[in-house]
Amino acid sequence: MRASTAVLLATGLAVGALAGCSQPPAPPAQQAAVLPPPPTPVVPSQNAPQCVRPAEKAAFDVSALRNQLVLTAITCKTEDRYNAVVNKYKPDLAGSEKILGTYFNRSYGGRGQSRQDDYNTQLISAQSQLAGKAGSLYCAIYTPMYDEVMALPSGNDLPAYAASKPIQQALVISECPPTAAPAAAKKKP
């Protein structure tokens, strides 16, 4: 044998021996299941009694999100994840409920609390009906919301997050038109 052939043969045997000692290749990564999008919310049959101010719109959005997470907790047995969301955003959720209460009191006077309770009942009912459309995929579609909500930088981001998701609402809500800024008082010369 010539020297170059012997070197090639020895190198090949060494590489082959090393290859036999190495770990087997990792199995190919499994592809994540592609889920269908959440069902499209149905336009509610009732209108809110009057237009909502920006803070009230945010409160309606957060209320719908909270109810969606409650429904998911009950349906998917994820109460611990729901409780984590509530613990993290407790002041923000309570603030939204207070603003919502102010809206219902402004709209209905002394019947405000009763009407807010009715709204919450209608909301969970409407969300439950929509959940039925997701069928057996409901938990796979909706439980990722917990991770998304927990990843928000602060509770101030809850309204925008909720507004960006296809979450069922119980009332058609229209925003009040912006109010004109009061005219500056003229100074007397």
Q: Is the pLDDT of residue 103 over 90?
A: yes
Contact between residue 44 and residue 172 where contact means Cβ atoms under 8 Å apart: yes
Structure tokens given for 110: 């002394």
Start-end of H helices in 135-179:
138-142, 144-150, 158-164
**What is the pTM assigned to this prediction?**
0.73
Model confidence pLDDT, tens digit, residues 107-138: 999 999 999 999 999 998 989 888 888 888 89
Please determine, for residue 14, whether its predicted confidence score (pLDDT) is greater than 70.
no
| pLDDT tops 50 at residue 155 | yes
Judge whether residue 83 has pLDDT over 90: yes
Question: How far is residue 116's CA from residue 119's CA, in Å, rounded to a whole number?
Answer: 5
Range of 14-28, 30-44, 69-83 with top mean pLDDT: 69-83
Distances (CA, A) of 183 to 53, 64, 137, 179: 21, 38, 56, 12
pLDDT at 99 over 60: yes
Quote the tokens at residue 46: 């009732």
Burial class of residue 154 (count of CB atoms within 10 Å of its CB; 0-12, 13-18, 19+): exposed
pLDDT, mean over the chain: 81
pLDDT tens figures, 166-187? 898 988 888 988 875 555 555 5
Confidence tier at 49 by pLDDT (50, 70, 90):
confident
Percent of the chain with pLDDT over 90: 50
